[in-house]
Structure 1
Amino acid sequence: MRILIIVPDGVGVRNYLFSNFVSNLIQENNEVFIYHKLSKSAVKEIKKSKPEIVNFSEIPHFVETPKLRILRESLAYARLLRGKKLLKNNTILRFWIPSKKGIKKKSLYFLAEKLGIILSKSQRLIRTYDKIYEAEILKNKNTAIHKKKLLEVNPDFVLNLHQRSPIASPIIAAAKKLRIKTATVIFSWDNMPKARLVARYDYYYVWSQLMKNQVELLHKEINLSNVIVTGTPQFEFYFDKNNFEEKNVFFNKYGLDSGKKTICFSGNDTSSPYEANYLKDVCEEISKIDKASRPQIIFRKCPVDKSTRFNKILEDYKELVFSIEPDWKTEKDQEDSFTSIYPTSYDNYLLANTVKHSDVVINLGSTMAHDFAVLDIPCLYLNYNPVENSVFKVEDIYGFEHFRSMNDLEAVGWLNSKNEIKEKTLLAIEQPNKIGEDRKKWLEKIVLHPLDKNSEKLKNTILDCIK
């Protein structure tokens, strides 16, 4: 079989190209073609890590017309408004982030909001405008280019690695025109309520039954039999012994003491403005512990956070905090380009060992809670506002729909004030089963198990869909 995989940006490289997923397809004599919007250095890194992946072709530059952009944004806003009512969750609208830069973008989002309000009144109206968007995509010159590419490759199946990306829309439109089966993975555990499912596919591959239920509620137009629970390869790196190194060897590389207990502080991206405040609070409180028994801190910045906001804290607490920078790269001339950011295969090693050799992780509502839960290590969620009267509030963060999946589970520990950091961190280290004792149950709810079989599950599902 021939399978064309759309890689719209560098974020999907780790989960799908560095995992066993593509390799498994190739091992069964399937031809895989990577149709990508990656930098040359990213492609080089993939080839180095996975030499069996040989077919790469760059997606031509796509300029979204104002009409397409207004349609796409208005449909997203309409679905957010409906999602707010269906889910009975006001935080859904925090996913609407209109651009405030320039009169053109302000006008575009103004029109998108007005149209979105009208569309939100009726599911039928939303579906009608979905079809109008699809018709406009078919008229786009890129669709003809992609049609030519698909005729050249002649795939049996087209898979998109990120459902939110508008550059995938003309590719999917061309595939549909040629009657080629299509599918998308839903990239992350929190994606469905964000209303960024841009195109429509033959199949949708989701993390869990929970996510499938969200599709059923939020997308009545999708046939539920075409929504398939495949899990995600995101966590399989923790089951590969080749990714791990002895604690003393790993710690020696980064100046850490292998005899000390270790806290990991994992940061969020710059949309979370007070990460540096939280890190400072953690450092101040941990510094109060007697030096002989004081844990050390590994700081892992969010890979896409290129800011310098942590520098002063890292300097002030250099005897306590050891920064292990994620090994993600960008092209020098594309520092601000989201598509240019990509992980190296070495980052799998860094992340796996950071998790394995830490005793607890602290963060603000990060997915890293799940990474640590894979290895049965507790997580403490920061649950207080470090800056008074800020519009950014933790109450909104933990009100997001994906956190409702915890329900009554004791999945994480909660740091409800700065004063709780010292005591609860020590408790998590000394008695890990007293903090977040249901972390494994939460993980089982979030993603299909067994976690180390999800690449195989996704591969088999695709081959079954082709038949």
Structure 2
Amino acid sequence: MQTNSSAKKSKHILGLVIVDGVGYRNFLLSDFVNQSLNTFDEVVIFSGLPSESFEMQERANVSIVELPVFQESGKTWFWRKAKEVAHMQLHKYNFAGIDYNLQKNYPITKTKRALITKMIFRITSVFHSEKWINRFYRNQVSSFKKDEVTKVYSELLKREELDLLFFTHQRPPYLAPLDYAAKKLGIKTCSFLFSWDNLPSKGRMAAPFDSFLVWSDLMKKELHFFYPETKKQPVEVVGTPQFEPYVLDRYTSSKEDFYHKFELDPDLKTICYSCGDASTSKNDPFYIEVIAKLMEQNKLIEKVNFLVRTSPAEDGSRFKEVNKRFSFIKWNYPKWELTRKDHPEPWSQRVPLPEDLKDLRSFLKYCNLNINMCSTMSLDFMLFDKPVINPTFGTGENDLYDDQKYLRYSHYERVLESGAVAIVKNEEELVREINFSLKNPEARLKEQKELLELQIGKPLKGTSQRIAENLNEFSKA
């Protein structure tokens, strides 16, 4: 008679690490789990979200394991911070995004943690080579390998007898002890680089994973540059599941339903302003007000509907005044439920409902023009052949938050160079570009197609299947 252990051992099992609501959307609301079950016998989801968030995902051969929250000790924090800051010190001169984030990390207070951080900055200003970064990481591992949560991670992984542990994000700190536990058990690890700006504008990733999946050849080249050791590791271009729901039938809706749901005039074109989060896109309320005033003053070439979608990472309270002042603006507050309040990063605990993806797809399909401040949403709307305008009025010397700095980030410099979007730096340029885009919606279509090909290396259709097949190959290598 076969025991449970030996029965499980004969199975081909994928561990899937979901750290936040974005990972949930990308890998649970796409076709990824279904496709994974074509190549693996079981999928075990290791979740940084409450297990009840996955009730709708439970099915045969899919199980949920809620990860205990890993709290860094002082030593772990020190070495992790040294690793991240050293990485930014190494690349700050060539990458404006990294330099800006490095400056933002420098403390201005005089608390004990601030003083230690300043000491880390001084140390890493000298010792920041790849050799030193790896040394800092080894010290980080030494500081957490006997931690009780690390031991629990090891026990959970050992129980499931995985063939591969797939990380859907590469940055959260608690991934380091999870990767360490997997390696100690001989479980292969793979990480997906989940955003187009994570390499050229952020600090060191959490751990040295065994293999990687990336969006495009461009991202693969960036990975090899920032992490030279990956040249010897498996790295495959798969596209991104972030956009796959746009080609899945279950997220489609009719134009009539779209206009009815958001109370829009079906005889008018629709401008959609999509917001960033409050920390990086602080001028959103200002831009929304500017556009609303242009409409009131009849400065646009035609009457339009004005629809605003706020960021899923916030509750929309910062738009209270502009909402009250302009009653004709229609608002969409993304349907992402907050699953846990008492968490170090509560924004990460927001989980999307399928209805929200359906709403978003309807915006992309039926709106005529998108305006956003240099966000990934530029790519979303381009996928539906819609013109995009990026307002960046803030200089750091006027009364606005300095958002022109984002134009110097390497991932967005490529957007500028491509000519795929209109960058506007004042009200006159904004009204001119709105009118031009309403009249000439396909003027930048060629440039948009070229940019999408550069940034997203594969067709949207079949993304999950490609990922699952590559993970299967990694697990057997």
CA contact (8 A) 2:144 2:150 kept: yes
Alignment of 1:170-319 (within 5 A): 170-193=177-200, 194-271=202-279, 272-289=281-298, 293-319=302-328
Counterpart in the other structure of 1:30: 41
Counterpart in the other structure of 1:8: 19
Counterpart in the other structure of 1:128: 135
CA contact (8 A) 1:413 1:435 kept: no
Counterpart in the other structure of 1:19: 30
How far apart are the structure 1 equivalents of 2:276 and 2:253?
26
CA shift at 1:391, angstroms? 8.0
Aligned match of 1:150 in 129, 137, 157? 157
Unaligned runs of 5+ in 2: 1-11
How far apart are the structure 2 equivalents of 1:191 and 1:224?
21
Q: TM-score, normalised by structure 2?
A: 0.91
CA shift at 1:164, angstroms? 0.5
How far apart are the structure 1 equivalents of 2:65 and 2:187?
19
The amino acid that maps onto 1:228 is E
Counterpart in the other structure of 1:163: 170
Q: Percent identity?
A: 25
Point out the more displaced range, 396-405 or 435-444: 435-444
CA contact (8 A) 1:26 1:52 kept: no
How far apart are the structure 2 equivalents of 1:407 and 1:360?
18
**CA deviation vs aligned residue, 1:347-372 (integer Å, no higher than 9, x gap):** 11010001111001001101001001
CA shift at 1:307, angstroms? 4.3
CA contact (8 A) 1:235 1:452 kept: no
Aligned match of 1:94 in 91, 100, 116? 100
Aligned residues: 460
Alignment of 1:67-146 (within 5 A): 67-85=75-93, 88-96=94-102, 97-98=104-105, 103-120=111-128, 122-146=129-153
Point out the more displaced range, 260-269 or 245-254: 245-254
CA contact (8 A) 2:168 2:192 kept: yes
CA shift at 1:334, angstroms? 4.1
Q: TM-score, normalised by structure 1?
A: 0.92
CA contact (8 A) 1:9 1:37 kept: yes
How far apart are the structure 2 equivalents of 1:6 and 1:157?
11
CA contact (8 A) 1:172 1:199 kept: yes
CA contact (8 A) 2:292 2:326 kept: yes
CA contact (8 A) 1:45 1:345 kept: no
**CA deviation vs aligned residue, 1:306-332 (integer Å, no higher than 9, x gap):** 24121221222222x100111111037
Counterpart in the other structure of 1:459: 468
In structure 2, the CA distance between the partners of 1:316 and 1:23, relative to structure 1 (3 Å rule), is same
CA contact (8 A) 2:188 2:475 kept: yes
In structure 2, the CA distance between the partners of 1:131 and 1:91, relative to structure 1 (3 Å rule), is same
Counterpart in the other structure of 2:4: none
How far apart are the structure 1 equivalents of 2:305 and 2:248?
26
CA contact (8 A) 2:30 2:464 kept: yes
SS at match of 2:43: strand
Alignment of 1:291-440 (within 5 A): 293-319=302-328, 321-331=329-339, 333-334=341-342, 337-385=346-394, 388-389=397-398, 392-406=401-415, 408-435=417-444, 437-440=446-449
SS at match of 2:277: coil
SS at match of 1:234: coil
CA contact (8 A) 2:393 2:400 kept: no
CA contact (8 A) 2:87 2:203 kept: yes
In structure 2, the CA distance between the partners of 1:177 and 1:311, relative to structure 1 (3 Å rule), is same
CA shift at 1:291, angstroms? 9.2
In structure 2, the CA distance between the partners of 1:299 and 1:70, relative to structure 1 (3 Å rule), is same
In structure 2, the CA distance between the partners of 1:407 and 1:167, relative to structure 1 (3 Å rule), is same
Point out the more displaced range, 258-267 or 430-439: 430-439
SS at match of 1:361: strand
CA contact (8 A) 2:49 2:339 kept: no
The amino acid that maps onto 2:312 is P
Unaligned runs of 5+ in 1: none
The amino acid that maps onto 2:219 is M
In structure 2, the CA distance between the partners of 1:101 and 1:8, relative to structure 1 (3 Å rule), is farther
CA contact (8 A) 2:315 2:333 kept: no
SS at match of 1:233: coil
In structure 2, the CA distance between the partners of 1:127 and 1:429, relative to structure 1 (3 Å rule), is same
**C-alpha RMSD of matched pairs (Å):** 2.2
Point out the more displaced range, 263-272 or 142-151: 142-151
How far apart are the structure 2 equivalents of 1:185 and 1:111?
33
Point out the more displaced range, 60-69 or 356-365: 60-69
**CA deviation vs aligned residue, 1:32-74 (integer Å, no higher than 9, x gap):** 0011111355223544xxx457400110121111111111111
How far apart are the structure 1 equivalents of 2:412 and 2:229?
26
CA shift at 1:345, angstroms? 1.3
In structure 2, the CA distance between the partners of 1:291 and 1:419, relative to structure 1 (3 Å rule), is closer
